[in-house]
Chains A and B, each alone.
Chain A
């Protein structure tokens, strides 16, 4: 062979690949695989781009609750160098100093939550000012000027001041200039019940309230690019003392909203995984068909002397070209699709204004190439192994066919993509294992079905018998088809149910009439008056819970020092990592709703007479997480100093508490007998319809010393997030539905050649058109029905696993889907199947036979 010839042979595969491809594209058959890649890339890209943007918006929201992207807090002043250092990382910074202090005005005195902030505060969210007492706040970009103080509505009542009056904080005097409604990281605790005062940071020194012995909290805020933030934290980290400094990022937000965002994030990941699996199925099916149609050309080329490597290249070139084209077109389509949805949802759903993220593109490219390569691998390996002898013996098929290997590769590829995509092995494994269970069940049911078919399909050959005969004969193809139909239906069900369950559970936590105001510091004397006053005004209070602050003295025999010296205080706090040296105690014999005993026994049956505890020791129930944090559990003895008395209690039960509800929750619930000698303060909550808001001032007037919190804004915020998430999920549902339908169509397309052949034979044998049509419809109805049934079963299993293991939700049976799924399965698969075959079915015999040649 001359040099020239060698070159020619080398360029041959590319030429041949292109020649074959050109014609395939013209005949519109290869476009199925191209379309599958476009679809998968577009679905993955649009879903993940959309969720990225939505998450961006949600994170921005939750950033508002810490007033920044990151927050560093400590009990000691923070090193000013750190702030300077943050600026070198191009981060925006702000500072806040807060303490509890006394405020004086008009000879009145009140304990206040004093916050001094720097000019740039807040970095995220905004300070809100009320135009009049207790009115809804309006955002401002300002902070108090030096010498100014902005006061909480309650404080105006408590101190009897008005705008323009003077107020003394520590050693300094301020002019009251605004009614403070809220600040982004105002915190939300019924127990830190003091009304807030906002001043300028430059004034804090003059007040002299941050001296030794006072509990001061110093915070620094940082905002900027995520990479810069991480780099800064890495640089700062070695200088931080974990005992003293607390680093908080948006993701650490454990408020109900923060948890909602985290759940939404998981949900989007899940939905993206569904799209991947659907795409993979479509590509696998298309590749299989593509390979099968090329058995003959490969046998011919081999017969004509082509080497295996030439043939390999011919097809690898084609696949690479299709993958590349698919990825490019898919990216464009996906981006446009996402953009269209975003603009269609504008107004209902808040998305970040940033329109492009690289991560979704990388994931889409990764998905596209992995799908194209891994899902085409086995069909192609089969294709390459076609022996040339096929030209003589037509029944010879691929010598390499390892269905096991194919499934392992495909499964491995899916798992790999799930993992890479979700970065969560647990979710991936749960989904994967339930998928495997589904496949196993389906295989079993297919064979069961075939056995059943032997019975059902007996009798004179009619449409029904023909349908069964077809199902029976192509049992393996059918099981593959069944599995993918069932997978699709299951994925749709999972998304649907998760959407309903998640959104419903969120909504259930905030039913209409959810308490939107909290009251604290209600005294024993005020209690009956308050209840009566509120009742007279037609407002229900949600029960009054007694609270008292107790100081830890001992845990078992370990003494806890509570002297107020600064150093000790800090070490006590941090080594015990409890709630500080003080805890809020309540006492009751009735278990609060949303609480659940997980260990021991609730103390409603306990009396001093039947007590098994040591003399003078009372039962206490603790919340699970506080127990873990303080490393205390069943049987441990806690000693509190309440007022000036010592009370010893033993942990007799551990509770879980639903923190997502807007009701007062407690870490420690004592038996009332323990507290009989103490005067209690009470807390309660109530719902006031928005239109009655103006009445608040009048309503609260007789109880100026009572602390009130307005959580209306917070609740509305949570509700709007729920609405957003729900709208987003609907979008995903539509996408998955489209992807699923396309998989179904691709499946039917894949069996088209064979159907055509079969039909031609049936027609020539004189079968009536009606009978053939009916038999096709029956065939799809049967497959759809079984697939739907299997999907309902698999759905139940995977939902159970997901809800109990991943989302920590109450799981429940979804009986309605056991009816809905098979029926919709039958209808949808029947319709889609019949529709895709219709053209074929209505062809006359002549055309059919011609097409076959």
Chain B
């Protein structure tokens, strides 16, 4: 589903060139859930941005569901994102001047799915905030906002879901609820999940964990790894 080859990101700063990502090589199978963990500033979000086609790499290749992301222009990447990718962010990123329902309809409308409203109402129900359909984001609690954001991410039935610290802004109880919801939906729709988190517990719930240290990505062999698949992945990731 996702495959990278010698992915490098450098940026120029006032102190000269800064390499944020060392050559990154790894691949993710369809339906897998991957956690990326690492210290603040290690380059997790940068990697996520590249994988999702929000940013372009300095060099290297990214294949997303067999599409060469590194060869596509911004318009093509946008279309790909609309059709295959869903997002969940730490700061929810709802459009403040649209209602919860309208926010959820938005991706469906952008790619031209039929009955966006009915679809939106259905997912809204799934995330359990149907009573908030007509409310604006600033009238919702953090947990509710993130549920709406999850509903928005799932409405297009994306093949891949990217989540950047989805529970970073939530208290323990809400975090728990959101996590449960996220994994339930993920399982239901067989989505490939790439999740950036600081939370070890959340990371544990994923099939695999990758650790980012100063731009280097290393596979973490978890205790509950049950098949040989991850060892093989490990080699690939650290190659």
Binding site for B on A (CB under 8 A): 1, 4-6, 8-9, 12, 15-16, 19-20, 23-24, 27, 296-297, 299-308, 310, 387-389, 391-394, 853
* Residue among A16, A300, A308 with max Cβ neighbours from chain B (10 Å): A300
Q: Is B222 an interface residue (CB 8 A)?
A: no
A-B contact pairs, 9 of them (CB 8 A): A15-B109, A16-B109, A24-B97, A303-B81, A305-B78, A307-B78, A389-B54, A391-B89, A391-B93
Q: Mark B148-187, 1 if CB is under 8 A from A, else 0.
A: 0000100000000000100000000000000000000000
Interface centre among A4, A310, A389 (most CB of B within 10 A): A389
Number of A-B contacts (CB under 8 A): 101
CA of A310 to CA of B114 in the docked complex: distance in angstroms? 18
Given A9-B112, A392-B49, the answer on whether A301 and B106 have CB atoms closer than 8 Å is yes
Residue B95 at the chain A interface, CB threshold 8 Å: yes
- Interfacial chain B residues near A16, Cβ < 8 Å: 106, 109
> Given A296, A391, A394, which contacts B54 in the complex, CB threshold below 8 Å?
A391
The A-contacting residues of B in range 13-33, CB under 8 angstroms, are none
Q: Given the complex of chains A and B, what is the CA–CA distance between A237 and B61 in angstroms?
A: 79
A310 vs B106: C-alpha distance when bound (angstroms): 12
Q: Are B89 and A297 in contact (CB under 8 A)?
A: no
Range class of the B interface residue count? 35 or more
Contact of A305 among B79, B91, B97, B164 (CB under 8 A): B79
In the bound complex, CA of A393 to CA of B20 (Å): 14
**B44: shortest Cβ distance to chain A, in Å?**
10
Cβ B97 vs Cβ A20 within 8 A: yes
- B54–A297 touching, CB < 8 Å: no
Most chain A CB neighbours (cut-off 10 Å) among B85, B93, B97, B164: B97
Asked if B138 lies at the interface with its beta carbon under 8 angstroms from chain A, I say yes
| Additional pairs, 10, CB under 8 Å, beyond known A19-B102, A302-B78 | A5-B113, A9-B111, A12-B110, A20-B98, A296-B96, A303-B87, A305-B82, A307-B75, A388-B54, A392-B49
- 1/0 contact string of B42-58 vs chain A (CB within 8 Å): 00010011001011000
B50 to chain A, nearest CB (A): 10
Q: How far is the CB of A692 from chain B (nearest CB, A)?
A: 77
- Which 8 pairs of residues, A with B, have the shortest CB-CB distance? A305-B82, A5-B112, A23-B97, A9-B112, A304-B107, A297-B95, A389-B54, A305-B81
Residue of A nearest to B136 (CB): A23
Identify whether the interface residues of A are mostly helix, strand, loop, or mixed: helix
From B49, B80, B97, contact of A27 by CB (8 A): B97
Query: B138 contacts A853, CB within 8 Å?
Result: yes
Mark B122-164 against chain A: 1 for CB-CB distance below 8 A, else 0: 0000000000000010100000000000001000000000001
Enumerate chain A residues within 8 angstroms of B93, measured Cβ to Cβ.
296, 299-300, 303, 391
Query: Is B83 interfacial (CB 8 A cutoff)?
Result: yes
B99, closest chain A residue (CB) = A23
Instruction: Give the Cβ gap from B15 to chain A, nearest Cβ, in Å.
Output: 17
Are A297 and B109 interface neighbours, CB within 8 A? no
Q: Shortest beta-carbon distance, A517 to chain B, in Å?
A: 75
B46 to chain A, nearest CB (A): 8
Nearest CB on A from B75, distance (A): 6
Q: Which residue of B lies closest to A391 (CB)?
A: B93
Contact A301 B110, beta carbon cutoff 8 Å: yes
List chain B residues, Cβ under 8 A from A297.
95-97
Complex interface: chain A residues within 8 A of B52 (CB): 303
| B83 A305 Cβ-Cβ under 8 A | yes
The docked-state distance in angstroms from the alpha carbon of A260 to that of B163 is 74
Chain A residues, Cβ within 8 Å of B138 = 853
A303's partner among B54, B75, B79, B109 (CB-CB below 8 A) is B54
Partner of A304, one of B110, B113, B164: B110
Please report the C-alpha to C-alpha distance between residue A276 and residue B95 in the assembled complex, in whole angstroms: 35
**Inter-chain contacts of A27 with B (CB < 8 A):** 97
Contact call A304/B54, Cβ cutoff below 8 A: no
Given contacts A389-B55, A391-B54, contact A307 B79 (CB under 8 A): yes
Nearest A residue (CB) for B138: A853
Beta-carbon contact of B110 and A310 below 8 Å: yes
Q: Provide the bound-state CA to CA distance between A303 and B85, in Å.
A: 9
Q: Give the docked Cα–Cα distance between A6 and B112 (Å).
A: 7
Q: How distant is the Cα of A203 from the Cα of B103 in the complex, in angstroms?
A: 91
Q: Given the complex of chains A and B, what is the CA–CA distance between A306 and B108 in angstroms?
A: 10
- What separation, in Å, do the CA atoms of A391 and B107 have in the docked complex? 15
Known contacts being A389-B49, A391-B93, is A305 close to B98, with CB within 8 Å?
no
**A392-B164 contact, Cβ under 8 Å, with A303-B54, A305-B78:** yes
Q: Which of B80, B98, B112 is in CB contact (< 8 Å) with A19? A: B98
Question: How far does the alpha carbon of A20 sit from the alpha carbon of B138 in the complex, in Å?
Answer: 15
Give A112 to B99 CA distance when docked, in angstroms.
89
Report the minimum CB–CB distance from B206 to chain A (whole Å): 20
B136 to chain A, nearest CB (A): 7
- Cross-chain contact B110 with A393 (CB below 8 angstroms): no
Q: Establish whether residues A392 and B48, one from each chain, have CB atoms under 8 Å apart when the complex forms.
A: yes
B87 touching A391 by the CB < 8 A rule? yes
- Chain A residues within an 8 Å CB radius of B75: 307-308
Residues of chain B with a CB closer than 8 A to A306's CB: 78, 82, 110
Question: Which residues of chain A are within 8 angstroms of B49 by Cβ–Cβ distance?
Answer: 389, 392-393
Give the shortest distance, in Å, between A236 (CB) and chain B (any CB): 64
Residues of chain B with a CB closer than 8 A to A302's CB: 78
With CB as the reference atom, state the residue of chain A lying closest to B95.
Answer: A297
Q: How many angstroms from the CA of A24 to the CA of B98 in the assembled complex?
A: 9
A8 near B112 with CB under 8 A, answer yes
Whole-angstrom distance between the Cβ of B26 and the nearest chain A Cβ? 19
Considering the chains assembled together, what is the distance between the CA atoms of A306 and B78 in angstroms?
Answer: 6
> CA A307 – CA B80 in complex, angstroms?
11
User: Which residues from 62 to 82 on chain B have a C-beta closer than 8 Å to any C-beta of chain A?
Assistant: 74-75, 78-82
Contact between A12 and B55, CB atoms less than 8 A apart: no
- Most chain B CB within 10 A, of A296, A299, A306, A310, is at A306
